[in-house]
């Protein structure tokens, strides 16, 4: 079984954004930015579905063809997780996704110091919570940090 290491957990925890890649039923790729993610267990990543449409269709068509990439700009480290995805719209994991989205939104708002900038941002952000929790069961992990190990499968 694949295991997400403590170092990988730190990368995911420090990342400010993630990329989720899926493919449709014809095999065409789709990549979307993700604002909320965390390590759920030793082999699972949790993402929030706030605005996904095509991505959800792709996961339903090809749940075994997904990848999520996390990048920490401060330490210049990253990793990519490949595996299968499932979507939950109720239950304990979904509630965890709702909590994650709310806590990340609150943290992002505190980063804005200028009241005018905050007001402009708030006006642009839709007032909806997650529609679902996307859980990636990790089957392989690759490092994306620069250097001789870049792109190599580690687990």
Question: Do the domain assignments include residue 150?
Answer: no
Print the SS3 string covering 45-64: EEEEECCCCHHHHHHHHCCC
DSSP-assigned states of every residue in 127-148: ----SEEEEEEEEEEEE-SSST
Q: Please report whether residue 149 resides in a domain.
A: no
Q: What is the mean pLDDT of the chain?
A: 88
What is the tally of structural domains in the chain?
Answer: 1
- Which CATH number belongs to the domain containing residue 88 in this structure? 2.30.110.10
Determine, yes or no, domain membership for 104. Answer: yes
18 in a structural domain: yes
Q: Is residue 152 part of a domain?
A: no
Q: Could you read off the pLDDT of 100-153 as tens digits, one per residue?
A: 888 776 655 555 555 666 666 665 655 567 899 999 999 999 999 999 999 999
Lookup: tokens for 87: 């979507």
- Please tell me the pTM assigned to this model: 0.86
Which residue range is the domain that position 130 belongs to? 6-143
Is residue 151 in some structural domain?
no
């Amino acid at each position: 079984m694949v295991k997400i290491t403590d170092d990988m957990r730190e990368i995911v925890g420090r990342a400010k954004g993630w990329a989720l890649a899926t493919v449709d039923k014809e095999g065409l790729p789709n990549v979307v930015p993700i604002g909320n993610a965390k390590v759920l267990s030793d082999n699972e990543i949790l993402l929030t579905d706030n605005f996904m449409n095509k991505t959800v269709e792709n996961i339903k068509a090809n749940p075994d063809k997904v990848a999520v990439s996390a990048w920490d700009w401060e330490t210049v480290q990253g990793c990519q997780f490949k595996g299968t995805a499932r979507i939950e719209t109720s239950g304990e994991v979904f509630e965890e996704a709702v909590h994650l989205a709310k806590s990340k939104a609150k943290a992002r708002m505190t980063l804005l110091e200028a009241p005018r900038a905050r007001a402009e941002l708030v006006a642009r952000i839709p007032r909806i919570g997650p529609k679902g929790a996307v859980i990636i069961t990790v089957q392989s992990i690759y490092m994306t940090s620069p250097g001789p190990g870049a792109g190599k499968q580690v687990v």
